Structures are given as C-alpha cells and as structure tokens.
Amino acid sequence: MTLGKMNRSNFQKFASYLGLLVVTFSFLGLGVWQWNRAQESRVPVVISSSVVSLNSVTQPRISLPASATLRRVRTTGHYVGFLQAPHQVDGLGKESIWDVGMLESDTGGVILVVRGLWSERVITPNSANVEVMGKLMPHQSDDYVESEPGVLRRLDSALIVGQTKQDLFDGYLIAEQESVNGTPSQRIRIEAPAPKSAVPGFYWQHLSYVVIWWFMAGVVLYLPIYQRRVTSKMEPTDAA
C-alpha cells in the first residue's frame, strides 16, 4: 500500500470516527435537554400579581409574548360587538357558554374580553366607557363548535378580522373586574384556567424523548461493533 493510500485510509477512518462522535454526542445532548425539560415541567409557573396596563406587556398585531400570559392587566375603551363562545371550560372544570365582548381600547386595537356567562349577559351600549381588569390568556387553537353568525368557535382574534377595521390583540382577556361609565358591573366572573407548569408538555412525555434520544445514541455506537462482527464472520468464507 502506498503512502498516499495509507494517508487517505487513515483520514477516512478519522472522519468516520469524528462523525460517529458528533452524532452520538448530539443524541446525548438532546436527551439531556429533554431531561431538563422534564424537571422544569414540574416547576409551577410564578406569575406576578401586580396589575399593569395592557399596552405595557403586549401590542396589537404581534403574537402574545410568553411573559404576558396570565398577567393581570387593565385597559379602557368601549365595546364594538358581542359574541358567544359555547362549550368553554373554566378553571373549575365547569362547561358553559361565555359572553365575549370585542373591546376597542382607547390606545388602539381590539381585544376579546370574556365578561361572564352568556345566560347572564348584560347589554352595554357601544358609547359607554368601559374599564376592564383581568387575566391575559393565549388564543385557543382547537374549535369547539361549527361556525355560526355571532358565535366564536374558539377564542381567537383571528376569527373577528372581518368584524372590525382596527388592529387586533393576540389572545383574550378574562375579566375579573369591569366598570361601565364608572359604575362597577356586578356579575359572576369566569375562573381563569390555572397554569400547570413552567414549560409546555407533560413530564412523562419529556422522559419518553430522553429514552428515544439515548437509545439512538446507543445504536450509533453499536453500529461499528456490529459491522466488525459481520466482517469477521465473512472473512473465512471469502478466504475459502
């Protein structure tokens, strides 16, 4: 074997082993990352109880920031429409039809506001000045009913694009307090769903990914050993 062929063979072996190590450590790293996610999924979310203005944590035409989710916010404006949201489940596990108002903020933009139960809805004139304080929630992704006039199949501002010319806030607000023309509105409010963990997903779901990634790392490490065994078994046959 010439020197050039030896150098090329050694380089190919080095590249193969290097690639093997890179892939193995990548799988191991992904497993460690999922392990950390599993531990974080058991850490409860800590949300500030202070009340801030709506525009200080989010703006129209942008996705709701993660830091703004479940924050208590306050905003003023007037309602430009009312809708019902059937088959909604509150933080106590109770299913009902929610009364949802389209609130046009004084600072610009429209946000969906869950005011209470549809069966106890209160007609508020569009000219009335409204102040709302409540929790910001991310928009819903799953439909609960079929599309009908005056009915929201899910709580998502994308569904009211054609009902207002104003820019829209992502997410929706579950009202805890509401006043109309300076008079507090007395009605049963919806209990907002409680946060479950600091990261999305479930504990055992993340652990299953840990097993998968580390199994893949084991498979990658075993492949060269398996290849040598197959080669060693075939050599006597080739010689014969």
Q: Is 188 helix (H, G, I), strand (E, B) or coil?
A: coil
Q: What is the pLDDT of residue 237?
A: 52
pLDDT tens digits for range 130-188: 999 999 998 988 898 988 889 999 999 999 998 888 999 999 999 999 999 999 988 88
Phi first, then psi: give them for residue 151, nearest 5 degrees.
-125, 130
DSSP conformational letter for 149: T
Sequence-separated (6 or more) residues with CB below 8 Å from residue 170: 58, 62, 63, 64, 138, 139, 157
| Contact in structure between 133 and 51 (CB atoms under 8 Å) | yes
Question: Please, what is the average pLDDT of the chain?
Answer: 85
Say which CATH architecture domain 51-184 belongs to: Beta Barrel (2.40)
What number is the average pLDDT over the span 59-82?
A: 92
How many angstroms separate the CA atoms of 173 and 71, rounded? Answer: 10
Q: Where in the chain is the domain with CATH 2.40.50.140?
A: 51-184
Question: pLDDT value at position 240?
Answer: 45
Tokens, residue 130:
């409204």
